[in-house]
Amino acid sequence: MAKIEFFSTPTCPYCRMVRKFLNENGFPYIEYDITTDLDAFEKMFKTTGYTTVPTLIINDQEVIIGFDEEKIRKVMQKK
């Protein structure tokens, strides 16, 4: 199964949408709240160059910024 790292903030409505989508589709993930986890924030920024949430990093290779249901499905089908 793919390793999904999900970077979020508590107030982000798109983060809630990503969380709901991942849960409804049975995609396991590790969620990091970048407002309280500075290491996670630094990893997200070093990997993507952005501070935007939601951000998904899949298998340390694929990066999806924002809620893009189609792209998430496509990446997960490859894994």
Which amino acid appears at position 73 of this protein? R
Give the total number of structural domains in the chain. Answer: 1
Largest CA distance in the chain: 32
Residues 67-76: what's their mean pLDDT? 93
* 30-61 pLDDT, tens digit each: 999 999 999 999 999 999 999 999 999 999 99
pLDDT at position 79 is 61
What's the pTM?
0.93
List the domain range (segments joined by +) for residue 22.
Answer: 4-78
pLDDT at position 67 is 97
pLDDT at position 35 is 97
CB 74 within 8 Å of CB 62? no
CA distances (Å), origin 10, targets 14, 44, 68: 10, 16, 19
Other beta carbons within 10 Å of 34: 21
CB 34 within 8 Å of CB 27? no
Residue 72 sits in a domain whose CATH number is 3.40.30.10
